[in-house]
A and B are shown apart, each in its own frame.
Chain A
Amino acid sequence: MSITAKANALWEYANPRKFLATSERVLPFFWITSAVCLVVGLTWGFFFTPDDYKQGSTVKIIYLHVPASLMAINCWLMMLATSLVWLVRRHHVSALAARAAAPIGIVMTLISLATGAIWGQPMWGTWWAWDPRLTSFLILFLFYLGYVALWEAIEDPDTAADLTSVLCLVGSVFALLSRYAVNFWNQGLHQGASVMRAAAVTGADTEEKVSNIYFYPLLLCIVGFVLLFIALVFYRTGTEIRARRIKALLARERVSG
């Protein structure tokens, strides 16, 4: 099959029935693998890694803080992609996938902010600072809340999808800022990237990076969070598709008397 044919085959999933059938087939795999990765990764990190010489046992918070922060940003980027598909091709499933993902993003951002504050208190001596990365994450959290509120506030689903897609485009600036704020401004309390840094992986730089003792369980936790995110998006999108069908059926019933 050529690349064009493969790309065209992807659009078949814009059909709600095809999407539901496929997601129900793959969902057990994602639920099970995410649970296994999270249980093994968190148990490994919590019980079987040593304390850090500087941060003591608080280093164990990394297994929740880093994956949640990554997913908080990437969830918004996924919403951006599906919102663009809605704006360009008007596929309802893509708009509903963005809607389904937003509460997951809220929870991931909340975990990131909460664990960051809990970790920051003993390390920085404060729960919160108006640091570039912390502030951009707080703004991202507010964008998530605004996005969900906008969906709820507008009666017509197509208009809601249009307006939330535009909001998503605007909010993407903050999603990217949340990721790269530490590279733009160095005056904050938050450390620079020490896990997902290309130069650290290739060994091209000399800055401090996460030791392999912590990195392997962390990687497993990141994979677990990604798989859980995929499982939740598939499941919740299915729910949104059914909720939309209920509205359509009720409207049809009203018209037919």
Chain B
Amino acid sequence: MIPDLGKYSDTVLSAYAASILLLVALVVFSILRGRKVRAEMDKLEQRMSRHG
């Protein structure tokens, strides 16, 4: 399914692989940290509301 990239096949594929990997890593790390911080905040707010 990959088009014929000729003699530059490695060049093009490595550029796409590196870029997509970096973009996906950025999105995944952002979401994981976002969820962790949100859960931490909810837990803290609940604890504080219980103790007045």
The finding on whether chains A and B are genuine partners in a shared complex, rather than unrelated, reads yes
Q: Is the CB of A122 within 8 A of B40?
A: no
Q: Is the CB of A111 within 8 A of B23?
A: yes
Interface size class of B (residues with CB under 8 A): 20 to 34
Q: Is the CB of A104 within 8 A of B26?
A: yes
Q: Is the CB of B11 within 8 A of A121?
A: yes
The interface bits of chain B over 17-35 (1 if a CB of A lies within 8 angstroms of the residue's CB, else 0) are: 0110011011100110110
Grouping DSSP codes into helix (H, G, I), strand (E, B) and loop, the B interface class, with mixed when no group exceeds half, is helix
Indicate if A22 sits at the interface (CB-CB under 8 A): no
Give every chain B residue within 8 A of A104 (Cβ-Cβ): 26
Q: Is the CB of A235 within 8 A of B44?
A: no
Give every chain B residue within 8 A of A110 (Cβ-Cβ): 22
Q: How far is the CA of A107 from the CA of B19 in the complex (A)?
A: 9
Q: How far is the CA of A255 from the CA of B27 in the complex (A)?
A: 37
Q: How far is the CA of A243 from the CA of B6 in the complex (A)?
A: 49
Grouping DSSP codes into helix (H, G, I), strand (E, B) and loop, the A interface class, with mixed when no group exceeds half, is helix
Q: How far is the CB of A245 from chain B (nearest CB, A)?
A: 6
Q: How far is the CB of A223 from chain B (nearest CB, A)?
A: 15
A122 contacts which of B8, B27, B34 (Cβ < 8 Å)? B8
Indicate if A159 sits at the interface (CB-CB under 8 A): no
Give every chain B residue within 8 A of A64 (Cβ-Cβ): 15-16, 19
Q: Is the CB of B7 within 8 A of A111?
A: no
Q: How far is the CB of A238 from chain B (nearest CB, A)?
A: 7
Q: Is the CB of B8 within 8 A of A242?
A: no
Q: How far is the CA of A252 from the CA of B52 in the complex (A)?
A: 12
Q: Known contacts A51-B6, A236-B34, A238-B34: does B12 contact A61 (CB below 8 Å)? A: yes
Q: How far is the CA of A46 from the CA of B4 in the complex (A)?
A: 11
Q: How far is the CA of A75 from the CA of B34 in the complex (A)?
A: 20
A61 contacts which of B15, B23, B25, B44 (Cβ < 8 Å)? B15
Q: Is the CB of A232 within 8 A of B38?
A: no
Indicate if A36 sits at the interface (CB-CB under 8 A): no
Indicate if A5 sits at the interface (CB-CB under 8 A): no
Q: How far is the CB of B12 from chain A (nearest CB, A)?
A: 5
Who on chain B is nearest to A112 by CB? B19
